[in-house]
Structure 1
Amino acid sequence: MNGATRTAARDVARKAVRAMLAEVALDLFRRDGFDNVTINDIAAAAGVSRSTVLRYFGTKEDAVLGALDAHGEQVADALRARPPDEDDWTALRHALDIVVEIYRQDPEAALATTRLVLATPALHTRQWEKQHGWRPALTQALAERGASRRPGIITHTVRAAAALDCLNIAIAHWAKSDNKLNLSDLLDEAFAALTS
């Protein structure tokens, strides 16, 4: 086995352990409530040490929201890939389909996690912080596209922030409807509210 193969195998193993720990943590949080579960509880339920849990997740919040870190860059990449003649607002809306697709893949788990986040102030705050961290990547992607009739850092930043607010409002309404409403339609409606 060469070095590259070993590194790839290690990365796959790390991702599998991280996913397993996140699943164990989410199950505990849903069952017992976020505030009632400790890192030690997660470690015991997963059959690993506390230090193993902390190696993958620095906080309990990260066990729930860790996946959000990668989503910001994925949305920014999708935004850059949009047709150059598409206006920024339309491009932002379609780039957010990356997030909508995650909800479509496993709506039950997404609904349970969304409810947990909305009901837990610490998680809600941490989610906002993580999404706030997406803004620079989205702002940069808009600038790189060069499709704006009003180019400038303020314009791009405001559009990125508004798009994320639209996403959060749509997700909250989707969760409130118990997945009866279509998340994509709700996101379309949220975006339309700012352009009409």
Structure 2
Amino acid sequence: MSEVAFRLFAERGFDNTTVEQIAAAAGLSRTTFFRYFGTKEELVLGRVGEFGREIADALAARPAGERPWEALRRAFDVIAEPRPGETGAPMDIIRLLSDACALMTRQWEKTQGWQSMLVPEISRRLGGPGPATDMRAGALVAAAISCLDAATDAWTAGGGVVSLADLTDQAMGVLREPGDVPG
């Protein structure tokens, strides 16, 4: 059903696509749609939540000796690097989120939720007291997510001409000075 929905969103726009249209195109009833998703917004935002888990997994898989800021940047490749041919890929969802005002606030809440998934690994890398009390890890993760948000905003405003990966490098590079980032 997600593939069908994302195809319809791409063709008609998020706001112009109804639950009934998604269900019909997927060969399902409206009632069946609501068994899986409470709203069409949840269909999209569920994928945003999955990105958080994918980023956390990518972060945990980074080399142990890698500096925390660099590990966060590389973990964001899950979103920043295009995946050819993947329906509902990060780039498609970013475009959709920027076009649908109703999704923007809820998307922000989801990305802020990524902090709870990323802070424990950054705290571990910093040799901190633990995620609940490691202010450094919380600050680094919050700053990294803000950089990703700034890069995403620039990417959508620029029509995707410059790659999201390059813009993420630029945004995170603003806060990276030799010796300034612990780890």
Q: When the two structures are superposed, what TM-score results if normalisation uses the length of structure 2?
A: 0.80
The unaligned stretches of length 5 or more in structure 2 are 178-183
Q: Which residue of 2 aligns with 1:62?
A: 42
Q: Which residue of 1 aligns with 2:20?
A: 40
Number of aligned residue pairs: give it: 173
* Residue among 154, 170, 179 paired with 1:189: 170
Matches of 1:123 and 1:31 in 2, distance apart? 18
Deviation digits for residues 5-49 of structure 1, max 9, x if unmatched?
xxxxxxxxxxxxxxxx12222233333332333322211222201
Q: Is the counterpart of residue 52 in structure 1 residue 26 in structure 2?
A: no
Q: Which residue of 2 aligns with 1:146?
A: 126
Q: When the two structures are superposed, what TM-score results if normalisation uses the length of structure 1?
A: 0.75
Q: Is the counterpart of residue 93 in structure 1 residue 63 in structure 2?
A: no
Matches of 2:34 and 2:145 in 1, distance apart? 29
- Classify 1:98/1:147 alpha carbon distance in 2 versus 1 (closer, same or farther; 3 Å): farther
Structure 1 window deviating more from structure 2 (124-133 vs 64-73): it is: 64-73
- Quick check: 2:79–2:91 contact (8 Å CA) kept in 1? no
- Quick check: 1:34–1:120 contact (8 Å CA) kept in 2? yes
Structure having greater relative contact order (Cα 8 Å, sep ≥ 6): 2
* Displacement over 4 Å in runs of 4+: 106-112
Q: Is the counterpart of residue 134 in structure 1 residue 114 in structure 2?
A: yes
Q: Which residue of 2 aligns with 1:14?
A: none
Matches of 1:159 and 1:43 in 2, distance apart? 42
Matches of 2:75 and 2:8 in 1, distance apart? 33
